[in-house]
Amino acid sequence: MFSIIPPQSPGEWLAWASALVTLGFGLICLLTPGLAFRIMRLRTAEGIPQAVSESRATMAGFYLGVSIFAILVNQPFVWMTLGAGWAFTAFGRLVSILVDRGNTSFNWISIVIEAALAAAPLLFALGVVA
């Protein structure tokens, strides 16, 4: 049986903060995909309802699944999974900045947020912050 044990140390608080932000993103993508697309500066094509399902399924599914599971099991490898997911998200955005001419303030702000969301659980899981 899973039981939620609140964070006991500064490192756990960092990891939990990343998971809670990820959970919030997941809920936004699931419950209000239009808002999620506006935040991410995306538009759906008219007459293609499956575009909205990408927010509810692909994006929300990953965000909710990993964040809830990390909170429930509270194990280093799961925290590393959350951190690695955000690290590769930041890496993908960096590639886009370099390759796709995506050198915008939105992308730079996003990459800083994504790097922070990656660092928080990784620092805890790797024992850098106890």
* Nearest CA-CA partner of 75 in 5, 1, 129: 5
pLDDT of residue 50: 85
Q: Is 5 inside any structural domain?
A: no
> What CA–CA distance (Å, rounded) separates 24 from 3?
20
Predicted confidence at residue 91, as pLDDT, reads 98
Domains identified in the chain, total number:
1
pLDDT score at 43 = 87
**What is the structure's pLDDT at 54?**
87
Give domain status of residue 22, yes or no: yes
Is residue 108 in some structural domain? yes
Per-residue pLDDT of the chain (130 residues; tens, 9 = 90+): 677 889 999 999 999 999 999 999 999 999 999 999 999 988 888 878 888 898 899 999 999 999 999 999 999 999 999 999 999 999 999 999 999 999 999 999 999 999 999 999 999 999 999 8
Tell me whether residue 4 is in a domain: no
- Using CA atoms, how far apart are residues 28 and 32, in angstroms rounded to an integer? 5
Which residue range(s) make up the domain with 42?
10-125
- What pLDDT does 89 receive? 97
